A and B are shown apart, each in its own frame.
Chain A
Amino acid sequence: MLNLLNNTIVFKWIDKLINFINSIFFVFLLAALSFALIFSPPDYLQSETVRIMYVHVPSAWIGLAAFSVIALLSILNFIFKMKYSNLITKSIAPLGLMFTCLAIVTGSIWAQPTWGTWWAWDARLTSMVILALFYILFIISNKMILEDDKANKVSSIIAIIGFINIPVIKYSVEWWNTLHQPASIKFLQSNSIHSSMMIPLLLMFLALLLYCALIFLMKYKTEIIKIKKKNLKRL
């Protein structure tokens, strides 16, 4: 497992992957954006405002997914002491924070014309802010604590505690009365979003995922280089 994570062969593969994603990302993004902004129909009720959703919803998904990945890796790291898993979590965290903030900001811009307010302290919005705070705590603990082992431990514990927030975010709209609407896309049930809007939404999600993969790989690469440099100094 350790060999898989930190190895010169993997290092070469990262470069190849970065090149590959670079070659398809912009085309994909252009296609997804033109579907989302031009070809998809306006909503029957909110008309053109609905287009914010094509950024808002994928960002929120990525924000949640990224934190789940960080938390799961932190659990593995805590139990099995996987040496280099913190390189991965460190590289994911800034991306997750960015997309969480993006979801909050786009949501706020959407809320002003639709709800009539920029912000409401309902359960969904508040729990998203808590998620952003956990991201910030995680990143700060990695940056401020200078000893690697200790930083690793503290940040994994933060991620594990923050993991409890994830189901709270997901189900906040069902457990409590919130201003935020419930999910339109459900597992095992029919969606309450029309397919002409579903397709651009999924395309945008894939485009943003590609972007995440690209930035993650670049960051992961620099983290590996940093480690290698450190080991060189030790020699």
Chain B
Amino acid sequence: MLPKNVKKRASLLTIFLSFSILAIFLILKSLNNNILYFKSPTEIKNSEDINFAKKIRIGGMVKKDTLRVSRSEILFIITDYKNEIKISYSGTVPNLFSEEKGVVAEGKLQDKNFFIADRILAKHDENYMPPELKDKIKKNVK
């Protein structure tokens, strides 16, 4: 058997650790809304108290065939495949920004369906593959 003082220290540590895990869990839970880097269109639709003056971020996929680039602005729709929001933006976009790719827009909501962005970030997904393979997959899909 273990000596008494070793047991004592072990139980002290266990209690200490479980309490600090609980504390951190509670802190993270209460901060949940602030930890979320962006909100999805569905979350925007369901939330009741939206501050239209405050800057927020909206994330999702750029919907297929909705990207319109004109001289003064870029228009597109962010979708999470349930709800969608129209985005208007003027400025430069990152390399990876394109249709059917992840995107995060930073700016202000005008109403629940229209958003004016002043910054666009591209969200990369976790898939890594060489270009030849991508072409093959595309062919197979067609």
Contact = CB atoms under 8 A, between A and B. Distances in A.
Interface of A: 41-46, 50, 53, 75, 78-80, 113-117, 120-123, 160-161, 164, 168, 176-179, 181-184, 192-194, 196-197
A178 B104 CA distance: 10
B39 A160 contact: no
Contacts of B38: 177, 179
B9 A181 contact: no
A116 B122 contact: yes
Interface of B: 6, 9-10, 13, 16-17, 20-21, 24, 28, 32, 35-40, 59, 93-97, 101, 104, 119-134
Contacts, number: 109
A46 B129 CA distance: 10
A154 B28 CA distance: 25
B96 A114 contact: yes
Contacts of B13: 75, 78-79, 160
A127 B32 CA distance: 14
Contacts of B127: 184, 192-193
- Interface SS of chain B: helix, strand, loop or mixed? mixed
Contact of B96 (A41, A46, A78, A120): A46
A79 B36 CA distance: 37
A194 B94 contact: no
Contact of B131 (A42, A79, A123, A168): A42
B96 A184 contact: no
A116 B37 contact: no
Contacts of A45: 96, 101, 124
Contacts of A117: 119, 121
